[in-house]
Structure 1
Amino acid sequence: MMKSNIFRLFGIGLTVAALASCSESFLDDKKDSDNFGPEIYNNLDGATLRVNSVYGECLPNPSAAAGWNNNCTGIYSDIQSKATEEYCGISSSSETSFVNPQYEMDAITGNRVPDYFQNEQKHLSNVWGRIRNINDVIEGISKSSLSQENKDKLLGQVYFFRAWCYYQLVKWYGGVPIIKTVQNTDAASFTPRSSAKECFDFIIEDLDNAAKLLSDATTNGGWDSNNWGRITSGTALALKGRVMVLWASPMFNRTNDKTRWENAYQAIKASIPVLNACGNDLYMGSNNINGSAFATPFGEVKNCEDVFVALFNTNDDDSDEGKNNRWENGIRPYNTNNGKGGGYEASAMIVDMFPMADGKLPSTCDTYSKLEKSGISYEKDYPFMNRDPRFYRTFAFPGVRWTYNGDASQGGSNNNPTDGKNYSLWNYVWYTSANDQGNVESGEAYGADNLLKNKKGIYVRKRTSDYDLGSAMYNYSSGSRNGAFSFCAAPYIEIRYAEVLLNYAEAACGAGHLNEAVEQLQKIRSRVGYTAENNYGLPTNLASDQAACMSAVLLERQIELAYEGKRFDDMRRWMLFDGGANTAEINGAPATWKLTGWDGNTCTWLGFKPFNGQRRERMEFRVADKYGIGGTTYDSDPLVKAGVVRCAPIDLRQPIAEQQEVLKNWYSENLVRKDSKGDGRDQNHVDLTIHFFAKYYFLGLASGASTRNDSRLQQTIGWADANHGGANGTFDPLAE
């Protein structure tokens, strides 16, 4: 497929120290030689090192937030996550964005489409370089003199990662070139784009092979402790379920072919006992309070919830920096890590739409019209009142404990009143001008406890390593290599057992097995404290109304998997930006692209308010008018100057009903909610609203990816082809 000059850049660099991992067993630092021959595969240690090099290249790595990034885009405040309810994300300036109405992305000039097809020319950053390395390993092990048992264990892992790489490509582009061998670097090696169906079949074949080859080694409780974290049969079948649900979803399945749903349902149902045999299950914990069992797996290693996981460590060494999980450092407030992070800010939209304590949507939420509204009043000025337990594990707000291991209470940019084991977040703000207090566009707010200009309104707390949960995986150290830094060895879970159950629910619903779909939702909700007494907070009509059932599944995915990099994919595959209504705006779109299933519009069928046309704002809590304004320094906090005593923060280790009331009363006396500008405004200060262009459901090849490849590589319909003078693309992602 690639031109010869590209392949010269595919040298097999095998420094496995880049492997995101713990520092034990197979995840230890290992190095392999850049110069090797087929004989390396005849030695089990050598062959294992080659397999480990595949892990190092292909494991999801949330320590970087750019480009293809091993599938970890979408968890940060990047262009994928900013195209969902999770963050705000429209700028008034020209930028690469999936939802900016002013700047339509193209493949050649101006606001260019991101390149997930090739990304970079460096081997470790280029998906095709990874695939080439995988094919080399498959060929080398297959031809080696190793025992069949050892071949099976090694090949099963590598087949999984080839499928993983292709899944990343296919979800963006539909059909891509299928390459199963190590190609020569000449024009004769050109491989055209295969159909999406052929690609899905290829991915599923690799995953079936992986599951079969790994069965003997992993279905008796999983790998031993020295190899924990490796791919299992369950991992392969879990990814297969995700892939089959994608194939059945509206983005690929415009006619709502029920066979695809039934096939996905049967496959996922069959995967559950295999996953259980590999040691996977829904983590329940021994003292589940306020959603603690839901939150614990994110900060705990060797957890039954982890189906596909990347491991990390806290080594204080520059050469080992890639092994630190940087997510925690990014989400922690500025005054807990010496300013090395600063936090991610949730949109007011997602905060306001999270379910109430009875499991139902707030009465003010108009996103899902076919789902029941809560009988509990939503108090917009006190959004922490009476919410789903997962709310408190997903967001942090003024007046909540959020503890960590270490002490950043002195010096630098911190000046916190307590050490990490007693840290509470107080991120209320004040303004230096009375005019700014009510100005939604003013950014002149200053945060308490020396957060100052580095404050966030509502912090993303999801996937935190919380010391109150017994986790010490996030550690602030004042004596680290950078003077003061925060390290985290928390695992990154790409697929957890809860997602498998949600995939099961979705496939069962799509196939018409509504009772089974509801059963999976009940399992998810029972883990966070809902019971049969109120039907687990679910509507009572889900087993008889397929559209309402699917809406409930999608909502549950949105809540359960928030800030795990799944929402943008869900919105694309269900076409939730426009319901599939705008296909006609795509240049050259064939008639087969028109959505005919789901009554011709997924949003209408689901009762989901299309995301296009909406906007997201930010939420903050400023000091009440009676306290006046403040200055720009730590000690100019108007509440501190007025001698206001803070109430006890919410402690999630204890029942929170009474604690909420105490905090609410303190807010009512001292703070005011302010919704400030989130998504941008144009030069005339007119609100910009979300617009996801219909052609984005299938991306085109960026100009760099096109021009660096053979001119016979087809561009996607609806996108200009850099290899053919900007002519419209000719590749149909939906053609079989």
Structure 2
Amino acid sequence: MNLKVNTLKNIKLHLFVLVLATIGLLPSCQKGLGLNPKDKISDENLWKNQELVLLYTNNFYSQMRSGFNSTIGSTWLLSSITDDAMVPSTSSQARTVYANPSYTAASSPMNSIFSSRYSYIRRANLYLANIDQVPGDPALNKRLKAEVRFLRAYYYYDLVSFFGGVPIITKAQEYDEDLFLPRNTLDECYDFIEAELDLAANELPAKYPASDLGRITKQAAWALKCRIQMMREHWEQAALTAQTIISMGEHNLLSDYTAVFTSRNNNEVLLAVQHNDRYDELGTQFDKYTFSPYYGGQGNNCPTQNLVDAYQMKATGKEISDPTSGYDPTQPYLGRDPRFYATILYDGVAFKSRIMQMYTGGEDITVNTIAGITADKITPTGYYLKKFTNENYNPNGDPNGRSGYNWPLIRYAEILLNYAESKNEASGPDATVYEAVNKVRQRAGMPKLDESFSQADMRTAIRHERRIELAFEDFRYWDIKRWKLGPALLTNITNPIRKVTITKNAQTGQKSYAYSNVTGYPRLFEDKHYLFPIPQVELDKPGSKLEQNPGWK
């Protein structure tokens, strides 16, 4: 059994749910199932059947967080609460809850992350306690155990990213017992995650046969470990971990940047959340909610002028603010970094067999109630998102609105940039740092970096490269937090969201471009927002030993 989308057609995903619902792994869940004994697969019987265990293992993969469904099942990307993008609807949580934080410990939408992750951690604990006794191929048991060990570490990685230090639970326990554990320190959590990833990597293969594409490899385990080390600013260790992956030679950069996101299970991707374009548990609604309303979309995830301005000129590799860059303000979209064209839909670009019109009065930004184009679907910035979208998808022709490519959780370009950042922070920009960054830039068709950079210059260059190369892949939000730049980049006072207004001369067709701040979009970031609050419902339970994060009491 594998996770490859084409093969999943034969798996019948509802069987995953059946196995999960009927084995009765959690005492608190058993009481509410309403199943009589002959309908239920007992714990004892599950661990006697390797095929059932394999199905159950696959279910753990379903909890890897896909950016297409954001962090809480929403239809906007995490980038839409950064300076890279925004959503048009004034009632969207991306604007009312996140960008202008109005949530509390009782109402935070991330509360569901806390409970869902611990639900699967408890299941993983029981799994790890029983997998060794399963009859069948011992090598398969060993590998499956390593996969679930990785996934448990991934769940903890998610928890510490959102909440900081959390209780470390490693044994199969009654649900009520777990509520009364105190929080471990952040360093204790980091140490635990790194150790678990090392154990998993030791038992995971470097590659799989075609029948098992999509499963976790040792490179994925090391990549997640590298992220943890970077969060800790353990730069030398992070550089060594990234170098280990690079030296293995199992992955490479695709020659075509766009193909990374439109071809499933390609060799640049170390780990992905598997999706398909059917109306089932593996489908997403990304295209439906991202396309311009002219195509029947909702216009979410609109790139900002801030991001557009960050794309350098292709010929010179210089910022557009540099008078020697070659930038022409009368043709602002000409000659830019090729990743701009793969990522952003702008006025005058050909898309879905027509030329997009983002000028005043143009079809993509003008209310047309007959066509279903309402104000809450029109881009507030003058741009729509192209990256990850399927140009052949027709929201109007699909009442269910299911679409989507795989979501890349880890890819090789990240590993190269992780190495470059870590090595530069550890000891400055040596030849290997330039080589790693230049590989990413040259794949995109950009010039090499100037080889006279100071450590600070290289830091700026690497942060720029992460923003551009990894745009809309959920890195910007976490990078800003990791770099402790929230107050500088996520508030209107210091970094207002910018838009373009384009006017077209009816007689000559000449266009003019005016830039201004988006209004009616308050953005705030205080120090307490580096972490989300521990859910109030957990703090209020009798006997709870959990303590709230600073600023949220």
TM-score (norm 1): 0.65
The equivalent position to 2:359 in structure 1, one of 419, 428, 434, is 428
The answer to whether the aligner puts 1:379 opposite 2:334 as a matched pair is: no
Deviation at 1:66, TM superposition (A): 5.4
Equivalent residue for 2:313? 356
Cα distance per residue 1:99-155 (max 9 Å; x no partner)? 53xx665435xxx5x35354486xxxx111111111122122133334431112101
Distance (Å, rounded) in 1 between the aligned partners of 2:459 and 2:406: 31
1:468-483 correspondence runs (5 A) = 474-476=392-394, 480=398, 482=399
Q: 2:105 is matched with which residue?
A: 107
Q: Which residue of 2 aligns with 1:522?
A: 438
Q: CA deviation at 1:574?
A: 0.3
In the alignment, does 2:246 pair up with 1:283? Answer: no
Report the Cα distance in structure 2 between the residues aligned to 1:394 and 1:233, rounded to whole angstroms: 30
Is the CA contact 1:20–1:323 (under 8 Å) kept in the aligned structure 2?
no
- Corresponding residue number in structure 2 for 1:407: none
Paired residues for 1:247-646 under 5 Å: 247-248=232-233, 260-274=234-248, 276-277=249-250, 280-284=251-255, 293-315=256-278, 317=279, 320=280, 322-336=281-295, 339-358=296-315, 360-364=317-321, 373=322, 375-403=324-352, 422-430=353-361, 445-446=366-367, 453=374, 454-456=377-379, 457-466=382-391, 474-476=392-394, 480=398, 482=399, 487-515=402-430, 516-531=432-447, 536=448, 538-542=449-453, 545-578=454-487, 613-624=494-505, 627=506
1:676 is displaced (CA, Å) by 5.7
Alpha-carbon distance between aligned partners in 1 of 2:202 and 2:330, rounded to the nearest angstrom? 54
Choose from 191, 198, 214 the match for 1:229: 214
Alpha-carbon contact 1:476-1:487 (below 8 Å) kept: no
Shift of the alpha carbon at 1:88? Answer: 6.9
| Alignment partners' CA distance in 2, 1:135 and 1:264 | 28
Any conservation in 1 of the 2:198–2:221 contact (CA below 8 Å)? yes
| 2:149 equivalent to 1:166 | no
TM-score of the pair, normalised by structure 2: 0.85
CA distance in 1, matches of 2:92, 2:270: 41
Q: How far, CA to CA, are the matches of 1:692 and 1:325 in structure 2?
A: 30
Which SS does the other structure have where 1:430 is aligned?
Answer: coil
State the shift of 1:362 in Å.
3.0
Give the aligned partner of residue 87 of structure 1: 86
Alignment-mate amino acid for residue 328 of structure 1: D
- CA drift at 1:479: 6.2
1:733 corresponds to: none
Matched-pair contact (CA < 8 Å) for 1:25–1:226: no
Query: C-alpha displacement at 1:350, in angstroms?
Result: 1.3
Match of 1:140 in 2: 130
Alignment partner of 2:526 out of 667, 688, 693: 693
Q: For the residues of structure 1 that align with 2:285 and 2:463, how far apart are their CA atoms?
A: 29
Consecutive unaligned residues in structure 1, runs of 5 or more: 1-15, 249-259, 285-292, 365-372, 404-421, 433-442, 467-473, 580-607, 628-641, 643-667, 682-687, 721-736
Shift of the 88–509 alpha-carbon distance from structure 1 to 2, 3 Å rule, reads farther
Name 2:5's counterpart in structure 1: 22
Q: Which residue identity lines up with residue 87 of structure 1 in the other structure?
A: M
For 2:229, the equivalent position in structure 1 comes to 244
The aligned residue for residue 61 of structure 1 is: 66
CA RMSD of aligned residues (A): 3.4
Map of 1:289 onto structure 2: none
* Counterpart-to-counterpart distance in 2, 1:326 and 1:349: 26
- CA contact under 8 A between 2:83 and 2:307: conserved in structure 1? no
1:428 alignment partner, SS class = coil
Report the alpha carbon displacement of residue 228 of structure 1 after superposing the two structures with TM. 0.7
Cα contact 1:25–1:227 (8 A) shared by 2: no
* SS of the residue 1:517 aligns to: helix
- Contact 2:4/2:211 (8 A) holds in 1: no
2:91 matches 1:210? no
Q: Distance in 2 between matches of 1:77 and 1:297?
A: 18
SS at match of 2:502: strand
Q: Whose helix proportion is higher, 1 or 2?
A: 2
Give the CA deviation at 1:514.
Answer: 1.7
Work out whether residues 352 and 380 of structure 1, in 8 Å CA contact, stay in contact via their aligned partners in 2: no
**Structure 2 partner of 1:669:** 509
The one-letter code of the counterpart of 1:569 is W
Partner residue in 1 for 2:29: none
